[in-house]
A and B are shown apart, each in its own frame.
Chain A
């Protein structure tokens, strides 16, 4: 003990302490770091069918490489690198018709009528992109079938995390400079899940540590409930855009009807 104490003021002591401190912190961080469920990130693509990857590569070269580069390495502003975006990103972007991009713009709009790939082709493309680097995989069926989902819980999560951009009725909202959070009516549950997982365009990533898979399913169930008329009470919703719709209605049809009645009464003799 006394021998150790004599080294206390040695110049080496500082370096040793620093080394120990950093090692301890790093080890503790690695041990306590929040880890996502292993199945969400397909780190190893060993199980992927090599044929799928090869077919996907061909599709990629024909349809995507002009912007994203032959090896999906990215091409400046034309298209980002796709290494690590995962199969979920491909499933979302191609499955909703956003990619291949129809025209350059501030944001790729959903284009459900322009999905020119079969689901198999999309899967092959996804397999190829997933082979480039580890990334989120397409969502598990278990979390997109909406069985046993808690709508009320989904609503709370939606209002906290999503409503500020997508509107509390998921009708969409404006972002800066022409970008927008799209209307979520009619979007496939699996695409909504992938969007949360991959954070396309301006959307933040909600990984499984932020919103668990079960909570994601709840959110999707909440949105689908709106789509199926779960909020439709009291008559026509005027587009569910809040007081703006009410104002337009009352200043046109509402007061129009009454002015019509007033004119009729004014012309009517006693």
Chain B
């Protein structure tokens, strides 16, 4: 029996009572300003929104971390624009940071120093902006992982998944643009890397860089251009797409984890008003508070320590912010001998592959995954109940393998930091990572898939035989056995509710017609069957009621169906009711 949280009913009663007491004579239900607004704008229609039910789980808050970080970035970013000068015009610094006094630098860098040292609260806001930006992308990454591993991208949410992938790409570009603005030694090196990426494009590379930089690197245009992208263009697209993203969450209603009373046709959770608003609103303040705390006690991007950008200088330990690591790491791992020349034109695939190919490729694969999986499974049904990751072993293993591949690339970016901190040879690290890039995903895939299958077996074992009680019984004949305690219906439900996907070879019938002649199968369909086999060949079927009944050695054949099932349903609904949870039909 799950514990039933207390006190929910009281909150609900109070809020309802409050609404009633403030109601005016004009309308017995609504306060006068609402009536006034409703008569003019019809706002009361929107009140239905407040009744929207949201299921509660900590992992659903990961996306909210990203959302709130975005809001923090917007607020703090606005503050920074009041003082930041997006210009590469040359000035001699004469502010209060002594180690740079009298040094020539761009206005962008000088104004960043000014914000850091001479504007009240400037440094705190700068650090808050940067930490929130990192947190934004961490939140997105974890949110993507949650959605992926629980299968929340399945029909009808594929479009929202694609919007989400575009959002994550934009977030990285936005971060990179912002990171480049202060024109310090590190960010200038980053822009130089971007310049190199573009130059590596075959044939058009040089034209492309001249177009973007308005001439030779560095020129005087790139910072103003990145600035307008960072403060206007990208935020506008980000916020707009995000609005669609969140609207679709409302439209589809949120997915929920499987559990007693949670079906594919309902959504069980707290209504938006008052409970979920209070929780989500409270969480905003927690996120803001924690980010502010971090910004107050931990330095980020100390541009004054890097010095102004000068194309002739570079610092050891130059890394971009972590979200660009995989690309930078790919450049560090790709071997230099790939470069070649034809008719005096140099081609640099060792840069091209790691940047202009890899960057779009990652997001294309990410965006296409729901469609690929749907094509393989042929499952066209709507899914509102989330998968437990172990119940989709191959998907989980594929995801983990992809993450391991990504991490190898990301770690390659800090090969120099690892070398110096662990006293290793940077060459050995690079060679090891090159090997790991190909081997680790395979190992991770196999290990994770086996882990998932083992966990499923353990679930079956638990359902069929219950938990060990530790009590040893002796029968009159002298036989010893340990008493196993059966799971209660609530706990059991989590372990038996899912369906195991079966490969097409089982569901689509035999590949032969009634005369035993093999049906002609196109290459695409043949690949689909192979992939389906790859995905669902190894599977653990959930315990069926009859299996459960057979396992109960005391002849409880009528274990689950019928009257008992109805009794469970009713008791679940009673428990939810007490907890203040509402069930909302999906229509």
A254: CB under 8 A from chain B?
yes
What A residues does B56 contact at CB under 8 A? 266
Kindly report which residue of chain A lies nearest to residue B274, judged by CB atoms: A270
- Mask: chain B, 180-201; 1 = CB below 8 Å from A; 0 = not: 0000011000000000000000
**Chain B 299-322 residues near chain A, CB threshold 8 A:** 299-302, 304-307, 310, 312-322
B297: CB under 8 A from chain A?
yes
What A residues does B428 contact at CB under 8 A? 177-178
A20: CB under 8 A from chain B?
no
Kindly report which residue of chain B lies nearest to residue A175, judged by CB atoms: B426
B299–A237 touching, CB < 8 Å: yes
A254 CA to B322 CA in the complex, in Å?
14
A255–B135 touching, CB < 8 Å: yes
A234–B123 touching, CB < 8 Å: yes
Whether A235 touches B426, Cβ cut-off 8 Å, given contacts A246-B321, A254-B138, is: no
A167–B316 touching, CB < 8 Å: yes
Kindly report which residue of chain B lies nearest to residue A151, judged by CB atoms: B99
Question: A149 to nearest B CB, angstroms?
Answer: 11
What A residues does B302 contact at CB under 8 A? 231, 233-234, 237, 240
A222: CB under 8 A from chain B?
yes
B116: CB under 8 A from chain A?
yes
- Mask: chain A, 209-252; 1 = CB below 8 Å from B; 0 = not: 00000000000001001100011111111101111101101110
**Chain B 324-368 residues near chain A, CB threshold 8 A:** 325
- Mask: chain B, 410-421; 1 = CB below 8 Å from A; 0 = not: 000011110110
Whether A233 touches B420, Cβ cut-off 8 Å, given contacts A247-B322, A269-B7, A269-B579, is: no
A175 CA to B294 CA in the complex, in Å?
33
Question: B405 to nearest A CB, angstroms?
Answer: 18
A268 CA to B280 CA in the complex, in Å?
12
**Chain B 83-116 residues near chain A, CB threshold 8 A:** 98-103, 116
Kindly report which residue of chain B lies nearest to residue A269, judged by CB atoms: B5
Whether A262 touches B65, Cβ cut-off 8 Å, given contacts A233-B117, A234-B302, A237-B299, is: yes
Whether A155 touches B100, Cβ cut-off 8 Å, given contacts A174-B316, A269-B580, is: yes
* Selected interface stretch from B230-238, B281-289, B515-523: B281-289
A243 CA to B185 CA in the complex, in Å?
13
**Chain A 94-134 residues near chain B, CB threshold 8 A:** 106
B425: CB under 8 A from chain A?
yes
A1: CB under 8 A from chain B?
no
Report, as a range, how many residues of chain A touch the other chain: 35 or more
B144: CB under 8 A from chain A?
no
What B residues does A261 contact at CB under 8 A? 283, 286-287, 290
B127–A235 touching, CB < 8 Å: yes
A269–B8 touching, CB < 8 Å: yes
What A residues does B60 contact at CB under 8 A? 266
A240–B305 touching, CB < 8 Å: yes
What A residues does B101 contact at CB under 8 A? 152
Question: B21 to nearest A CB, angstroms?
Answer: 21
B505: CB under 8 A from chain A?
no
A183 CA to B307 CA in the complex, in Å?
18
B11: CB under 8 A from chain A?
yes
A163–B58 touching, CB < 8 Å: no
- Mask: chain B, 125-161; 1 = CB below 8 Å from A; 0 = not: 0010001001100110010000000000000000000
A226 CA to B319 CA in the complex, in Å?
21
A265: CB under 8 A from chain B?
yes
Whether A159 touches B283, Cβ cut-off 8 Å, given contacts A152-B103, A233-B299, A234-B123, is: no
Contacts A243-B301, A253-B294 known; list 7 others, CB within 8 Å: A151-B99, A160-B310, A234-B298, A241-B317, A250-B134, A251-B322, A258-B286
Between A and B, 13 residue pairs with Cβ closer than 8 Å are A159-B185, A159-B307, A160-B310, A168-B315, A180-B420, A233-B299, A234-B116, A235-B299, A250-B131, A258-B286, A261-B290, A268-B279, A269-B5
B interface residues (Cβ-Cβ under 8 A, vs A): 5-8, 11-12, 56-62, 64-65, 98-103, 116-117, 123-124, 127, 131, 134-135, 138-139, 142, 185-186, 270, 275, 278-279, 282-283, 286-287, 290, 294-302, 304-307, 310, 312-322, 325, 414-417, 419-420, 423-428, 579-580
A interface residues (Cβ-Cβ under 8 A, vs B): 106, 151-153, 155-156, 159-160, 163-169, 171-178, 180-181, 222, 225-226, 230-238, 240-244, 246-247, 249-251, 253-255, 257-259, 261-263, 265-270
Closest 8 CB pairs of A and B: A269-B5, A173-B316, A266-B58, A247-B322, A178-B425, A168-B315, A174-B419, A262-B61
